[in-house]
């Protein structure tokens, strides 16, 4: 055996073994796809089945699993690595100028202090609309590299940002999710003259709002304003496109009174009533009344009592659109679960 020739190849062999052992191959994930239409902005996408969707005004969050959420809040934390896609849309104030949109995005990027420029900027198309794809990485420690890909585009009167985030080699594993989403992205159809925007009505898709004292289902195109009320109470207001159409959950102390006593104490505050009625919500007796604060506004108040708390549900709707709002509000009331 020629030992000198064999020894000559040892450094190269060692280098190959070192590289192959040090580099982690991306895990291959199998995805099934399902469709989603945003009820307010009316764009359509396809995304991985089983991912959770959370909606806020102007933004949708798609998360591969709830177990992976902590890593996106604190990248240096241990735990599962997942995929996150954020879709946001805002009114276009730049006259459709994509380059200005890119410049503005870089200028206001929350992670600007960590990046001087995007590592890759590619001109592409999203549903035949000119778009820019941006990519960069942020290294937090020796084992944590966050990778981000953003897609910017403008269509009609809206500017869109699709943002995909994951960590380390799992970025490549989850990347097919955003590639599928972008390739299937469909902008909302323009409304015909006289056609009503469906986003003006309560969505038929409901989300869950959780409060320490209760949970309730609500149309996912509604906004929520919640606040504490004194030391023991709280108030949450749900509203959609019409600000005169609201659903309010008000919690305050019962002072050990029954629901009948609470109702009797409060009924004098309502004008234009047509008598009290009874119902059952979450197994609790509910007493309610319809009343009127204005000629074109319908209103209703429910009272429930459990333990130390009164739960008052106040509904207000624009009478010409009663068919659109009242049924959604009644569904919300029926879904209330007192903890």
DSSP states of 287-318:
EEEEEEEETTEEEEEEEEEETTEEEEEEEEEE
252-268 as b/e, with b when 16 or more CB fall inside 10 Å? bebeeeebeebbeeeee
What is the pLDDT confidence band of residue 32, given thresholds at 50, 70 and 90? very high
CB 244 within 8 A of CB 316: yes
First to last CA, the chain: 81
CB atoms within 10 A of CB 276: 14
SS3 307: coil
Q: Cβ neighbours of residue 234 under 8 Å, at least 6 residues apart?
A: 211, 213, 226, 227, 228, 249, 250, 251
pLDDT digits (tens, 9 = 90+) for 130-150: 999 999 998 888 889 999 999
**Domains defined for the chain, CATH in brackets:** 25-184 (3.40.1000.10), 198-338 (3.40.1000.10)
User: Nearest CA to 80 among 142, 176, 168, 180?
Assistant: 168
Does residue 49 carry a pLDDT above 80?
Answer: yes
Q: Cβ neighbours of residue 211 under 8 Å, at least 6 residues apart?
A: 226, 234, 236, 249, 251
Work out the average pLDDT over 63-85: 91
Report phi then psi at 205, rounded to 5: -95, 125
CB 216 within 8 A of CB 337: yes
Work out the average pLDDT over 209-217: 93
d(CA 19, CA 332) in angstroms, rounded, equals: 58
d(CA 327, CA 53) in angstroms, rounded, equals: 24
The more confident residue out of 66 and 291 is 291
Does residue 305 carry a pLDDT above 90?
Answer: yes
d(CA 86, CA 73) in angstroms, rounded, equals: 14
pLDDT digits (tens, 9 = 90+) for 258-302: 999 999 999 999 988 888 999 999 999 999 999 988 888 999 999
Structure tokens at 39: 């009820």
Instruction: Determine the pLDDT at residue 26.
Output: 72
Mean pLDDT (the chain, rounded):
87
Instruction: Determine the pLDDT at residue 7.
Output: 47
Does residue 15 carry a pLDDT above 70?
Answer: no
Please state, for a pLDDT cut of 70, what percent of the chain lies above it: 87
Residue 259, CA atoms < 13 Å, CB-side half-sphere:
19
Instruction: Determine the pLDDT at residue 171.
Output: 96
Distances (CA, A) of 328 to 19, 53, 218: 60, 21, 8
Q: State whether the Cα torsion 250-256-258-264 is positive or negative.
A: negative
d(CA 60, CA 76) in angstroms, rounded, equals: 25
Distances (CA, A) of 304 to 38, 83, 225, 321: 34, 42, 21, 27
């Amino acid at each position: 055996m020629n030992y000198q020739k064999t020894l000559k190849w040892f450094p190269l062999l060692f280098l190959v073994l070192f590289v192959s052992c040090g580099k982690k191959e991306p895990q291959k994930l199998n995805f099934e796809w399902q469709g989603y239409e945003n009820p307010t902005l009316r764009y359509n996408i396809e995304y991985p089945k089983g991912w959770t969707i959370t909606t806020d005004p102007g933004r949708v969050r798609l998360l591969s699993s709830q177990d992976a959420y902590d890593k996106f809040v604190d990248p240096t934390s241990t735990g599962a690595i997942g995929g996150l896609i954020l879709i946001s849309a805002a009114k276009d104030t730049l006259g459709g100028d994509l380059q200005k949109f890119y410049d503005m995005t870089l200028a206001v990027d929350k992670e600007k202090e960590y990046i001087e420029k995007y590592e890759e900027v590619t001109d592409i198309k999203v549903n035949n609309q000119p778009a820019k794809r941006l990519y960069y990485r942020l290294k937090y420690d020796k084992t944590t590299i966050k990778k981000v890909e953003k897609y910017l585009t403008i269509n009609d009167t809206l500017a869109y940002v699709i943002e995909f985030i994951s960590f380390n080699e799992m970025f490549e594993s989850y990347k097919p999710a955003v590639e599928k989403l972008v390739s299937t992205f469909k902008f909302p159809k323009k409304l015909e003259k006289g056609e009503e925007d469906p986003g003006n009505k309560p969505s038929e898709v409901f989300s869950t709002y959780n409060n320490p004292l209760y949970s309730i289902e609500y149309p996912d195109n509604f906004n929520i304003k919640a606040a504490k009320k004194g030391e023991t109470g709280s108030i949450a207001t749900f509203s959609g496109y019409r600000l005169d159409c609201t659903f309010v959950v008000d919690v305050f102390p019962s002072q050990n009174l029954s629901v009948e006593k609470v109702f009797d104490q409060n009924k004098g505050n309502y004008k234009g009533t047509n008598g009290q009625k009874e119902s059952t919500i979450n197994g609790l007796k509910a007493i309610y009344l319809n009343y009127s604060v204005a000629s074109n506004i319908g209103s209703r108040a429910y009272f429930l009592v459990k333990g130390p708390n009164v739960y008052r549900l106040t509904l207000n709707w624009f009478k010409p659109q009663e068919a659109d709002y009242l049924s959604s509000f009644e569904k919300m009331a029926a879904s209330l679960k007192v903890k």
